[in-house]
């Protein structure tokens, strides 16, 4: 480890004084090495709760033996989930078959829409998942997902009243350790464990990636406050998973709030670009780049990675790069896009699709009309345009031609999937929001571009993946105009 910065020393001193701590760690600022510094000079027993299994494994090799490194799921499995091990290994089966076993035997009608047995079954299981991510003690209406096309509150209420009794029956089925009709998932035993009000035996707890914590884990973590010293570490500006239930628990956490702002990933130019987005996201930190690291913001002809806002934007980029003869990798997105392409092909051939996003559309024309005219469908317009331009078969062909990342010329990823990653050179894709007035030009010095808080956080994640060179690409319009030479 490098010589600790003053911020890291301050964090260690605060920790050793026994205070609860919320550590805002900007991109590349060495949060794991800082936590290792905190744990190094104490014989107290600690627990490190990691975001995923890979992070837990890497941390275990770095922390002293007094700190146990596990994911929240592994902790819950050891305490309770092991009782359900046999059910975890049960074979997969279609949602409609599970629904049938729960008593979903016929379609239902809401307003002008027929909700198929398959769709109802899928949403029952999705409701249980949303409940498992929440801190709620019982299943309630807001756990029921919204269906495209059932946009009126009364329609959703009627849908929820149909779904909730079956969801309650599914949750009761999951309580049986030996057998059941609902496939048992890891989130199920995590929720069951949380509902027991568990006590984690440790003198201190580290919670990593705290800005993306689901309410169910937040509840468990906060409940340890009376007997354990709590340390949250993360980056509120990288809180980009709100759409799947995650909440930024850091800013409201009752603890000493400290920051890590010196980035060891890149130099001052990229840090300056990151700070533009931190300001737009109203984030509590600003970054300082490491002087001497080769880093610049300029055009890149052959980037190592292209980062997009959406899966559809990523697919558009993949097809363009394949057309130019590049070997292309797509980060964890091929199968999802293939399912969308199959759904589009079904609709174009006059068949209904079972894709959960598109189940209520009877034809491709219905989907085109919805995307073009209904405000609730605007986010589907890029997908409709992609299919109308290339056709489903061309998209499926592109997915089949993808290359493993180790052998690719360029990696394409969404900013969400790029989180935690870095590349020498990065270009930002063209599907980030464009200016409302395309003829307005870049904002004047001191002028703020019109960007939502959500897009500002996503852009911050994207621009901080570059180590040496960053091409702003689709975000270039947000950069302030440079004064003319000699002006």
The yes-or-no verdict on residue 180 having pLDDT over 90 is: yes
Supply the pLDDT for residue 71: 94
How many residues are present in the chain? 487
281 half-sphere exposure, CB direction, 13 A CA radius: 24
Name the residue with higher pLDDT: 149 or 303.
303
Higher model confidence: residue 279 or residue 449? 279
Low-confidence winner among 119-128, 176-185, 236-245, 252-261 (lowest mean pLDDT) = 236-245
Mean pLDDT, the chain, as a whole number?
89
Distance between CA atoms of residues 138 and 135, nearest Å: 9
80-84, 139-143, 246-250, 366-370, range with the lowest pLDDT: 246-250
Report the C-alpha gap between 366 and 344 in whole angstroms.
12
Check pLDDT > 70 for residue 44. yes
| CA gap 315, 227 in Å, rounded | 49
Q: Average pLDDT for residues 104-119, to the nearest whole number?
A: 90
The backbone torsions φ and ψ at residue 15, rounded to the nearest 5 degrees and listed phi first, read -65, -45
Give DSSP secondary structure letters for 330-366: ETT-HHHHHHHHHHHHHHHTT-----TTTTT-SSHHH
Q: Is the pLDDT of residue 223 over 60?
A: yes
Q: Which of 56-65, 308-317, 330-339, 417-426 has the lowest mean pLDDT?
A: 330-339
Mean pLDDT calculated for residue range 16-32: 94
pLDDT band (50, 70, 90) for residue 46: very high
Q: What is the pTM of this model?
A: 0.80
Mean of pLDDT values over 426-445: 72
Question: What is the average per-residue pLDDT within 70-80?
Answer: 95
Residue environment code for 263-275, b if the CB has 16+ CB neighbours within 10 A, otherwise e: bebbbbbbbebbb
Identify the residue with better confidence: 327 or 241. 327
Q: What percent of the chain has pLDDT over 90?
A: 61
- Between 251 and 388, where is the model more confident? 388
| Sequence-distant (≥ 6) Cβ neighbours of residue 465 within 8 angstroms | 305, 307, 418, 421, 422, 423, 426
Digit-coded pLDDT (tens) for 258-272: 999 999 999 999 999
Query: Higher-confidence residue: 429 or 89?
Result: 429
| Structure confidence at residue 339 (pLDDT) | 87
What are 297-325's pLDDT values in tens digits?
999 999 999 999 988 889 889 989 998 99
- Is residue 187 helix, strand or coil? helix
Cβ contact 231:207 at 8 Å:
yes
What is the pLDDT at residue 487?
44
């Amino acid at each position: 480890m490098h010589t600790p910065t003053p911020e890291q020393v301050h964090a260690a001193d605060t920790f050793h004084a026994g205070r609860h701590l919320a550590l805002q760690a900007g991109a590349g600022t060495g949060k794991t090495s800082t936590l290792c510094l905190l744990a190094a000079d104490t014989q107290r027993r600690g627990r490190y709760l990691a975001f995923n299994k890979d992070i837990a494994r890497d941390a275990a090799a770095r922390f002293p033996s007094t700190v146990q490194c596990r994911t929240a799921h592994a902790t819950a499995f050891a305490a309770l989930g092991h009782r359900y091990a046999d059910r975890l290994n049960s074979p997969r089966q279609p949602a409609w078959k599970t629904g049938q076993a729960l008593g979903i035997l016929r379609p239902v009608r809401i307003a002008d829409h027929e909700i198929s047995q398959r769709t109802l079954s899928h949403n029952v299981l999705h409701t249980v998942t949303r409940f498992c991510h929440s801190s709620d003690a019982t299943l309630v209406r807001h756990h029921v997902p919204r269906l495209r096309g059932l946009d009126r509150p009364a329609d959703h209420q009627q849908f929820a009243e149909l779904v909730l009794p079956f969801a309650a029956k599914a949750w009761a089925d999951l309580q049986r350790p030996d057998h059941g009709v609902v496939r048992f998932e890891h989130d199920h035993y995590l929720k069951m464990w949380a509902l027991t009000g568990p006590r984690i035996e440790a003198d201190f707890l580290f919670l990593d990636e705290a800005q993306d914590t689901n309410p169910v884990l937040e509840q468990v973590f906060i409940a340890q406050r009376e007997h354990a010293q709590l340390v949250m570490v993360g980056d509120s500006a990288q809180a980009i998973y709100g759409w799947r239930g995650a909440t930024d628990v850091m800013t409201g956490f009752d603890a000493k709030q400290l920051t890590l702002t010196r980035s060891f990933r890149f130099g001052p130019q990229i840090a300056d670009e990151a700070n533009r987005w931190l300001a737009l996201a109203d984030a509590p930190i600003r970054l300082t780049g490491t002087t001497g690291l080769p880093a610049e913001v300029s055009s890149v002809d052959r980037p190592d990675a292209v980062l997009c806002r959406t899966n559809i934007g990523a697919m558009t980029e993949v097809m363009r790069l394949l057309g130019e003869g590049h070997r292309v990798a797509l980060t964890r997105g091929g199968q999802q896009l293939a399912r969308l392409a199959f759904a589009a092909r079904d609709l174009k051939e006059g068949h209904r699709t079972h894709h959960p996003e598109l189940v209520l559309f009877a034809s491709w024309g219905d989907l085109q009309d919805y995307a073009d005219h209904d405000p609730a469908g605007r986010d589907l317009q890029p997908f409709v345009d992609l299919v109308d331009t290339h056709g489903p078969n061309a998209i499926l062909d592109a997915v089949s031609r993808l290359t493993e990342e180790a052998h690719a010329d360029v990696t394409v990823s969404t900013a969400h999937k790029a989180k935690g990653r870095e590349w020498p050179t990065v270009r930002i894709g063209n599907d980030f929001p464009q200016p409302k007035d395309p003829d307005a030009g870049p904002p004047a010095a001191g002028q703020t571009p019109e960007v939502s808080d959500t897009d500002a956080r996503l852009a911050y994640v994207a621009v901080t993946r570059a180590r040496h060179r960053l091409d702003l690409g689709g975000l270039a319009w947000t950069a302030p105009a440079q004064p003319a030479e000699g002006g």
